[in-house]
Structure 1
């Protein structure tokens, strides 16, 4: 299967994080891609503040020194003798880049040191990587497991409840009544975000929108369940089954089939609006629909979910924006507070509400 840009970005970040700095030509050889591709990747990652560029080389940002400690390095006290916090994230790009940034900012304000490890969405490796954080001196943990499928929490999650230090889950909702359900956690309310999107389209005069969504992450699963809840709240029926989406880079044929299904629904008058998870898919869908003669917003009002790059589309996309940076910030503040409270303090489940950022892709209200 062809590697996605996000996967390549994570590998690139991992190489730079381990070495501290590296030449673009060396990274290209290690990643098995052209120097032009690496330079383009570096430019994007540097624009997000995840790397520094200097004359043909890249380095880990100096102000991220604590957050980006190389795997296996020994921990130490944070700034001013504060605690060492370990963070496990499934990715350092796209959605979780902002979560990590929020956590790093909050740790710096608290005088703590944040040590980061990336699971690359391999939940079977989460336990070993977390043990590495503990070995690096982590006194508390921020854990976003690399779960992708509904069965992953049961198959790869029980160990989290037995960790020897205070732990806060990030953007993960374990099953009610499970051992993990008793942990502190900070999450985005994706059901609320979907409701904002569906309600906005209905208020513009559209019927129930179609949903085109992935099924390869907890966010995707939450968007799907939130869609059913939103329709029920608004007294609507889905115009047809959810259209399964996949990354265009790794599964071009399946992606094309999904776009064709959406085009057929628009042509048949099944729906005049759609919600698409995620941003990258939404932008590529709009581009392909235009080639097929379907115009956004003239023929189809469209809202994207995630709001990572939605504003950069040719027609800027209205998007649901989960509070990613705030999730990282509040989780870190909760963990620091927990370290000072002791084991007897009540656990907390903090849910943050997404926002709807209205742009051009929904057009004007229907007559």
Structure 2
């Protein structure tokens, strides 16, 4: 299977993290890509503050969390604060902001954050988390690399028996499961979808179509939230959800999805759509334009995630989950948990997304 850009970015970050610094030409060789691709990747990651770039080389940012190695690895800053371990499925796209929020909160608390990435391989989550504990982590922030609906049951039970205080990030286990009793901090994606549907309905559209992935907990939450949002407005879906996939991995399936959306617009089935995620939404808008459907003239469109939505040719209205706040609040909760001990009540903290209105829904100035 062809490697996605996000997977390649994670490999690049891992190489720089391990080495401290590296030449861009060496990274191209190690990644098996052209120097042009490596330079483009480095520029994107440096622009997001994940790498420092100087004269053909890149280095791990001085204020970023690094691996716990060397003397005193089990001690916090100046040997005084706790070491917090964080498992994330990715260090790019959505989770880059979650990690940044966690790192900032850890620094304010005098703690050290140690990061490990699972690359969305849930079968490796446990080993990576045990590695964090071996590196001296006293508390854990865990975002499992679940993708399929069956992953929590297949790759989740071990989390409830971890020997250190644990906070789940952006993951909602099944009600009544062992994981449901853990502290957690999540975005309320159902509320985010409700904001999008409400905005489009207020603009005079009927029920919007949903074009969404099904390869992450966020995608699953967006899909279930869509049904709830329509029910709250007394609406029915104009047709079945259009399944989206990464265009770089499955170009034919992506093309079929775009053409299904085009057909729905041309046939009058829908005049508005919600698309998860940003990258897909940008590519959808570009391809629709090539097929004669313009956004927002022919179709009002809202993206979900707000990672790169504002950078599209037609800036995309987008639902923005509070990613940095998730990382911040989860870290603050973990630090508090370390100070309270095991007897303190557990907490589930849910944060609300925002709707950022731009041009793609044709209502920048709409209240």
TM-score using structure 1 length: 0.97
- Name the CA shift for 1:184/1:70 in 2 (closer, same or farther; >3 Å): farther
CA contact (8 A) 1:184 1:347 kept: yes
Alignment deviations for residues 14-67 of structure 1 (CA, whole Å, 9 cap, x no partner): 110111111111110111001111111000000111001111111100011457
Secondary structure of the equivalent of 1:62? coil
Secondary structure of the equivalent of 1:208? coil
Alignment deviations for residues 262-283 of structure 1 (CA, whole Å, 9 cap, x no partner): 0000010000000000000000
Alignment deviations for residues 81-136 of structure 1 (CA, whole Å, 9 cap, x no partner): 11000000000000000000000000000000000000000000000000000000
Question: What RMSD over aligned residues (CA atoms) do the two structures have, in Å?
Answer: 1.5
- The CA distance in 2 between the partners of 1:357 and 1:125, in whole Å, is 36
Does 2:352 align with 1:358? no
CA contact (8 A) 2:68 2:135 kept: no
Alignment deviations for residues 268-310 of structure 1 (CA, whole Å, 9 cap, x no partner): 0000000000000000000000000000000000000000000
Secondary structure of the equivalent of 2:325? helix
CA contact (8 A) 1:86 1:138 kept: yes
- The CA distance in 2 between the partners of 1:3 and 1:12, in whole Å, is 13
Superposition deviation, residue 70 in structure 1:
10
Cross-structure match for 2:23: 23
CA contact (8 A) 2:82 2:110 kept: yes
Superposition deviation, residue 75 in structure 1:
3.0
CA contact (8 A) 1:18 1:71 kept: no
Secondary structure of the equivalent of 1:63? coil
- Name the CA shift for 1:268/1:68 in 2 (closer, same or farther; >3 Å): farther
- Name the CA shift for 1:276/1:168 in 2 (closer, same or farther; >3 Å): same
- The CA distance in 1 between the partners of 2:69 and 2:355, in whole Å, is 35
- The CA distance in 1 between the partners of 2:127 and 2:359, in whole Å, is 45
CA contact (8 A) 1:22 1:58 kept: yes
Cross-structure match for 1:69: 69
Secondary structure of the equivalent of 1:46? helix
Cross-structure match for 2:35: 35
- Name the CA shift for 1:319/1:308 in 2 (closer, same or farther; >3 Å): same
CA contact (8 A) 2:65 2:115 kept: no
Alignment deviations for residues 196-219 of structure 1 (CA, whole Å, 9 cap, x no partner): 000000000000000000000000
Secondary structure of the equivalent of 2:63? helix
CA contact (8 A) 1:173 1:187 kept: yes
CA contact (8 A) 1:119 1:146 kept: yes
Return 18-27 or 198-207, whichever deviates more. 18-27
Cross-structure match for 1:88: 87
Superposition deviation, residue 77 in structure 1:
2.3
- Name the CA shift for 1:69/1:39 in 2 (closer, same or farther; >3 Å): farther
- The CA distance in 1 between the partners of 2:361 and 2:278, in whole Å, is 15
- Name the CA shift for 1:203/1:69 in 2 (closer, same or farther; >3 Å): farther
- Name the CA shift for 1:68/1:240 in 2 (closer, same or farther; >3 Å): farther
User: Unaligned stretches of 5+ in structure 1?
Assistant: none
- The CA distance in 2 between the partners of 1:359 and 1:219, in whole Å, is 22
